[in-house]
């Protein structure tokens, strides 16, 4: 008794998921039976079967064409195809040349098959883009008094603790409070290698946990997670129409009206002007309606651009709309924010110089004091000491001197960490070599921290915002791509900015800028170059990101304001992805141009063949629909990379 139910379920699923394909298949069978019946002399049966083929194969196109005509007062290609098919049927009945009816049925069949192929081709792009939607988990293991409770992700609140077991999807963004694991972030950021996460690190919803169990604390609402922002932006990208497509759609509306007018003229004037028979005139006019329709031209843009968006998403590059994919390929000048974009945005200990040539005591004393400080520079010193495995005795009686340093007792002796003048005032002497090295590091743009203990200078520590490892290579790649001007914008001092700019190959450095100053620099660049990109991550970059032809935000490090303002988001904070994005934009543009040229050329060829009398209606339909499918497949080439 189970097999009929299974069979019934399978047919229901098939009808639900592939209605157009089934309709086209039934239409093909009916056309074949109708043609066979006509050849066998069964005229009545043939007309009945071919009528059913017209209805089943042409229903959807007729509905869409009439809906467009009624609601938008516009003619579209679907309606033109149906008019041509019905015209062929009427001509066949009028002249009793019933093979014209078969020609009309073939037109509807080929048009239906083409629609199915176009739908399947475009669904590949849709699946590639919407694959992000499957990365979200509906439930999470919430920890309540040490016990696991399966709850809906939407019910999680800030402060809740969540357990993520090995191999599971991370349900929402959170901070690791316990555990260690390697996280596969490829679905979100495009990074090929897993990233190790431990206590204090942030993990993102939609990423895949490795072999270790992690306990997370929710630090933002689930709807504000990175993956949810990405999904919203992808949905937005699918609904917006780029300028090139807008132009083609405007062109198509006027073009369809011109086709109808010319079709009427071609269906009435040739018998009087060229001596054509009425049968030949009407038949040629019907073929004209088919081959002159701009289906291929309409498909020249969006499949290619949507494929480019899907390709970018797979590589950790999120385009908010197709217009920005077009625009990024035309960029000739790029402005980079410094902190958090060209640099990591996190101070790190880069150099250490101790008086006694050993940095052990220097870092231990500095860490003992700075471990009780919340200053980012202090955190960098503590991190450096931990990285080298040093342990220290906790300082007591610690007090901070804002803008100067920190002082306290370590093992009963006074320890001081801070600026040179503050520390030197607590020491008996200042070694000349240390003072000279401090001055040199400061000239290089580094922040120098002095350390003294028991009235003696122990040494100095240089702290700096380190340049991203790939920054210099990325800048060089952009120049090889033909980007004519690359500048850096920063609110930092000129000396530090110049040092970083020289290190990574920046053409021009603008320092000590306020947000409105960055905006003005972008405007100046736009006077020199037709398309200017801005890359940033902070709230102070938002005005410049909005002004630029293409605003590009760093996805992981970027602020919410920057992410919302930007047009393109680099999800993995990897600058080398910018080169890929520009190449993708350029290739998308080339494919769109190739498709437009091919579509227009094919229309011209078909029109010439029609007016020379070497074109039949089914052949015209085959050429017209074949060119449309070829254009769509050409646009889908970007899905392969």
Active site residues: 337
Q: What Å distances lie between residue 598 and 299, 459, 604, CA to CA?
A: 11, 71, 10
Under 8 Å between Cβ of 236 and 323: no
Rounded to an integer, what is the distance from CA 448 to the centroid of its chain? 41
Sign of the four-CA dihedral 169, 172, 173, 178: negative
Alpha carbons within 13 A on the beta-carbon side of 600: 9
CB atoms within 10 A of CB 403: 8
Under 8 Å between Cβ of 325 and 305: yes
Q: In the chain, what is the straight-line distance between the N-terminal and C-terminal CA atoms, in Å?
A: 48
Distance of alpha carbon 207 from alpha carbon 203, whole angstroms: 8
Classify residue 515 as exposed, middle or buried by CB count within 10 Å of its CB (0-12, 13-18, 19+).
Answer: middle
Nearest to 171 by CA among 208, 198, 212: 208
DSSP helix/strand/coil, 456: strand
Q: What Å distances lie between residue 59 and 82, 121, 245, 293, 603, CA to CA?
A: 9, 22, 27, 19, 26
Q: What Å distances lie between residue 292 and 260, 278, 299, 568, CA to CA?
A: 10, 21, 15, 38
Sign of the four-CA dihedral 306, 312, 314, 317: negative
DSSP string, 12-38: HHHHHH-HHHHHHHHHHHHHHHHHHHH
Q: What Å distances lie between residue 355 and 351, 380, 528, CA to CA?
A: 14, 21, 53
Under 8 Å between Cβ of 301 and 245: yes
Q: In the numeric block, which tokens belong to residue 71?
A: 């609601």
CB atoms within 10 A of CB 100: 23
Distance of alpha carbon 455 from alpha carbon 484, whole angstroms: 55
- List Cβ neighbours of 533 (8 Å cut-off, separation of 6 or more): 328, 331, 333, 334, 335, 548, 549, 550, 551, 552
Residues paired with 353 in a beta bridge = 460
DSSP helix/strand/coil, 201: coil
């Amino acid at each position: 008794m189970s097999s009929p139910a299974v069979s019934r379920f399978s047919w229901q699923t098939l009808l639900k998921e592939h209605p157009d394909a089934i309709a086209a298949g039934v239409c093909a069978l009916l056309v074949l039976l109708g043609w066979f019946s006509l050849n066998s002399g069964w005229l009545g049966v043939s007309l009945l079967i071919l009528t059913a083929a017209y209805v089943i194969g042409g229903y959807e196109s007729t509905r869409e064409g009439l809906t467009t005509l009624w609601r938008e007062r516009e003619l579209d290609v679907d309606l033109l195809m149906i008019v041509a098919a019905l015209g062929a049927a009427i001509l066949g009945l009028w002249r009793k040349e019933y093979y014209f009816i078969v020609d009309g049925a073939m037109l509807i069949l080929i048009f239906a098959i083409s629609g199915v192929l176009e739908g399947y081709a475009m669904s590949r792009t849709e699946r590639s883009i919407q694959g992000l939607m499957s990365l979200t988990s509906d439930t999470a293991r919430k920890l309540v008094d040490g016990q696991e409770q399966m709850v809906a992700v939407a019910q999680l609140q800030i402060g809740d603790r969540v357990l993520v077991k090995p191999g599971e999807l991370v349900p929402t963004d959170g901070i690791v409070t316990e555990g260690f694991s390697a996280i596969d972030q490829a679905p979100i950021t495009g990074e090929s290698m897993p990233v190790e996460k431990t206590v204090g690190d942030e993990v993102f919803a939609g990423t895949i946990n490795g072999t270790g169990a992690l306990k997370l604390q929710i630090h933002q609402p689930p709807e504000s997670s990175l993956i949810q922002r990405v999904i919203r932006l992808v949905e937005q990208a699918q609904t917006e129409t780029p300028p090139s497509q807008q132009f083609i759609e405007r062109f198509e509306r006027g073009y369809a009206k011109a086709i109808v007018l010319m079709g009427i003229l071609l269906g009435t004037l040739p018998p009087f002007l060229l001596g054509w028979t009425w049968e030949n005139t009407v038949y040629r006019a019907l073929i004209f309606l088919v081959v002159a329709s701009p289906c291929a031209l309409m498909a020249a843009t969006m499949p290619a651009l949507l494929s480019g968006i899907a390709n970018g998403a797979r590589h950790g590059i999120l385009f908010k709309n197709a217009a920005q994919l077009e625009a990024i390929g035309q960029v000739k000048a790029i402005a980079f924010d410094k902190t958090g974009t060209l640099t990591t945005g996190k101070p790190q200990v880069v150099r250490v110089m101790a008086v006694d040539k050993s940095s052990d005591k220097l870092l231990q004393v500095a860490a003992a004091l700075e471990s009780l400080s919340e200053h980012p520079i202090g955190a960098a010193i503590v991190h450096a000491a931990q990285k080298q495995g040093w342990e220290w005795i906790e300082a007591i009686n610690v007090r901070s001197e804002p803008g100067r340093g920190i002082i306290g007792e370590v093992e009963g002796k006074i320890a001081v960490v801070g600026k040179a003048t503050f520390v030197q005032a607590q020491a008996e002497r200042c070694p000349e070599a240390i003072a000279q090295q401090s001055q040199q590091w400061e000239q290089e743009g580094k922040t120098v921290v002095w350390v003294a203990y028991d009235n003696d200078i122990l040494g100095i520590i240089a702290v700096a915002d380190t340049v991203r490892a790939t920054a210099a290579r990325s800048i060089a790649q952009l120049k090889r791509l033909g980007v004519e001007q690359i500048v850096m914008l920063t609110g930092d001092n000129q000396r530090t900015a110049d040092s970083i700019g020289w290190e990574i190959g920046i053409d021009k450095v603008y320092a000590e800028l306020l947000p409105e100053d960055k905006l003005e620099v972008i405007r100046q660049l736009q006077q020199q170059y037709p398309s200017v990109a801005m890359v940033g991550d902070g709230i102070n970059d938002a005005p410049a990101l909005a002004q630029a032809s293409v605003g590009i935000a760093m996805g992981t490090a970027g602020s919410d304001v920057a992410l919302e303002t930007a047009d393109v988001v680099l999800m993995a904070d990897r600058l080398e992805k910018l080169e890929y994005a520009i190449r993708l934009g350029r290739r998308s543009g080339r494919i769109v141009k190739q498709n437009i040229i091919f579509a227009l050329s094919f229309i011209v060829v078909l029109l010439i063949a029609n007016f020379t009398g070497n074109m039949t209606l089914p052949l015209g339909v085959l050429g017209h629909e074949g060119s449309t499918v070829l254009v769509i497949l050409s646009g889908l080439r970007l899905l392969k990379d």
